[in-house]
Amino acid sequence: MPTKTFAGKTVEVDNEGFLIHHTDWSEEMAPEIAKEEGIQLTEAHWKVLRFIRKDFQETGQIPTIRRIKNAGGIPTNELYELFPQGPAKKSAKIAGFGKPQGCV
């Protein structure tokens, strides 16, 4: 299994760089993961990431774009601006989760 080091912690990742164990994630890792995706985190990004983590704790599932929009109150167009070329995939990765089902 490949590994990467983020914020001084070595973690297992899959072939696309998604964390294998979401419990390995910390907020200190997020900026480094985001940088690999060409994203510099802003407070708007953090709002999405924290919603994803909280929603997962409550439901046991990574929220869909629709759920982030409806339950998180973040418009779809804003998600695409924050996480271009695949907001579900990129936001899940930066939030420390595996690739969402249905993402290619």
Residues with catalytic function = 103
Q: Which residues have C-beta within 8 Å of that of residue 87, sequence separation ≥ 6?
A: 65, 79, 80
Residue 95's closest CA among 9, 15, 1, 31? 31
Rounded Cα distance, 44 and 2, in Å = 31
Rounded Cα distance, 100 and 90, in Å = 10
How many Cβ atoms from other residues are within 10 Å of residue 61's Cβ? 12
